[in-house]
């Protein structure tokens, strides 16, 4: 069994998250950008860490004593959670890790009593769209030529995050997430979310 641990990024993890950013996004955020997120009271910057044994399958360039395999970021803006970053290292994609990380971001937003979540996604990114729609996100608009290559972004929204009626929905997402990880040999370690009202 491979362990995966979701936790807030710390300053000690900045070199590793920059390396992960390069693998996932081609160098989307700079060191200064990550440092700003670390000190912002309105930002939740989470990473997925793998135990060392689980990471031995990776290339020499991606091995480390404390490997990061995923990164996600969410901004709290008034009563809205704006998901700005979500990425899983390419060799660990399609194993339920993105689904698990997204759930952790939504649980964090719910803990902050934010009412809705939003994000932008490439119109052509059918894999990401399928993931977000699994969590109930719906297309609310389009930003023409949003990305550097001129591609449009779809604006996705998910409402009523703090509604008590969603507790059973979050419980279902939580169980489905654990099951998907288990199918790929992953076991989530207790994380920062353990102190939150996780189903």
Active site residues: 120, 132
Distance between CA atoms of residues 17 and 73, nearest Å: 12
- Backbone φ and ψ for 115, nearest 5 degrees, come out as -90, -25
- Residue 23: alpha-carbon gap to chain centroid: 15
Q: Are 63 and 19 a contacting pair, CB within 8 Å?
A: no
Torsion of CA 13, 98, 182, 17, to 10 degrees: -10
Give residue for tokens 């998910």: 158
For residues 124 and 144, give the distance between their C-alpha atoms in angstroms, rounded to a whole number.
13
Token pair for 161 = 């995050």
Cα–Cα distance between 194 and 142 in angstroms, integer? 36
């Amino acid at each position: 069994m491979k362990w995966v641990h979701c936790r807030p990024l710390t300053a000690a993890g900045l070199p590793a998250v920059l390396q992960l950013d390069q693998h996932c996004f081609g160098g989307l955020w700079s060191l200064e950008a990550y440092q700003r997120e670390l000190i912002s009271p309105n930002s939740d910057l989470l990473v997925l860490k793998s135990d060392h044994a689980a990471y031995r399958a990776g290339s020499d360039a991606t091995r480390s004593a404390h490997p990061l395999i995923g990164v996600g970021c969410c901004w709290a803006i008034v009563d809205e959670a704006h998901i700005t970053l979500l990425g899983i290292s390419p060799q660990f994609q399609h194993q339920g890790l993105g689904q698990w990380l997204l759930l952790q971001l939504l649980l964090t937003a719910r803990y902050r009593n934010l009412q809705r979540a939003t994000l932008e996604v490439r119109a052509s990114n059918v894999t990401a769209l399928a993931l977000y729609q699994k969590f109930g996100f719906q297309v609310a608009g389009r930003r023409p030529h949003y990305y550097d290559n001129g591609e449009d972004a779809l604006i996705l929204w998910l409402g009523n995050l703090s509604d008590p009626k969603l507790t059973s929905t979050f419980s279902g997402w939580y169980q489905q997430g654990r099951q998907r990880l288990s199918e790929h040999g992953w076991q989530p370690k207790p994380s920062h979310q353990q102190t939150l009202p996780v189903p």
